[in-house]
Amino acid sequence: MLVLGRSHIEALLDMDALIDALGPAMADLTAGRASAPDRVAATVPERQGFVAAMPGYVPSAGALASKLVSLFPHNAGSPLPTHQAVIVVFDPATGEPVAFLDGTAITSARTAACSALSARLLARADSTTLAVLGTGVQARSHARAVCRVRPIRQIRIAGRDPAKAAALAGELSSVLDADVRSVPTYAEALDGADIAAATTHALEPVIRRPWLSPGVHVISVGFNPDGREVDDATVAEALVCVETRQAALAPFPAGSNDLLMPMRDGVITAGHVHAELGELVSGSKPGRTSPDRITLYKSVGVAVQDAVAAALVVAAAREKSVGEEIALG
């Protein structure tokens, strides 16, 4: 079995290739060719945490893998990330486990890559200003990924801790060809933004309709079992897209409070979800139809994303003879 650590993943995973590969994978999932059952979780109530299992199979990519991922929100602000994970890759022909990977870096990359895919499908082609809400791992990966699909020239970062926002802005300024700055509030970050990426563990919405400009594409990937990132007014007005309706509208731990709460309160119905990403990729559903329409991609994360990313990493590692081989038997 091939063992790959976080430094291997970060060196081997090509973000452009991952964004491209996720399009067919999401189309496979929508069409029923791929398999990704709703995640199940063992909860740790005293820490508001859980460990979830996420198996996925994508035949077109030859990818079969399962991820174990923990979410412990109280890690925010500590040296440990809120999300930590491992992935086991299997041979889809025999079921043999062939690789064991750090899943934390893959989770960060595949989430941002699918958000970038949503921006490619839904954001205006001339989008130049990106608002990043949050200062953690996902904030960093989203700033990098979105710049690969739209001509971003300015990035505004806001978070609960101004010092962390400033530090992230400084870090990204050295690696991105854009004017990256921190701002004091979420509202200031969102003012005039063409794309907004919410990557928080917010209890109360950090995306609010009065703060948004016409035509903005909103990405929301954050999760808090007791909260939400996007307010009712934005959800009600936006063209809403998800990975799959089944995953987004499922009960905890699979679904999204950003959609389930307004459904519970009668603000929207399940029919308000316009499309799955796979429907946009295949062309069976239209994307943006007006330059002024607000679009919202609400992500909950699905296992086919992990499987495709892991398959790309393993292939690159085999090609470059990277990693350590261990025998299980």
Identify whether the C-beta of residue 198 lies closer than 8 Å to the C-beta of residue 221: yes
**CATH-assigned architecture of domain 112-301:** 3-Layer(aba) Sandwich (3.40)
Neighbours of 214 (CB within 10 A): 9
What is the reported pLDDT for 150?
98
Sorted by where each begins, the domain ranges of the chain are: 2-107+304-325, 112-301
Residue 149 CA to residue 161 CA, distance in Å, equals 28
What is the reported pLDDT for 211?
98
* Alpha-carbon dihedral angle through residues 140, 75, 262, 142, given to the nearest 10 degrees: 10
Rounded to two decimals, the pTM is 0.95
What is the reported pLDDT for 175?
95
Place of tokens 């990256």: 180
- Written as tens digits, the pLDDT of the chain (329 aa) is 999 999 999 999 999 999 999 999 999 999 999 999 988 999 999 998 999 999 999 998 999 999 999 989 888 778 888 889 999 999 999 999 999 999 999 999 999 999 999 999 999 999 999 999 999 999 999 999 999 999 999 999 999 999 999 999 999 999 999 999 999 999 999 999 999 999 998 999 999 999 999 999 999 999 888 899 999 999 999 999 999 999 999 988 889 999 999 999 999 999 999 999 999 999 999 999 999 999 999 999 999 999 999 999 999 999 999 999 998 87
CATH number of 2-107+304-325: 3.30.1780.10
What is the reported pLDDT for 329?
74
Phi then psi for residue 51, to 5 deg, are -120, 125
Residue 275 CA to residue 286 CA, distance in Å, equals 8
- Alpha helix (H) ranges present in 222-285? 232-237, 245-248, 257-264, 277-282
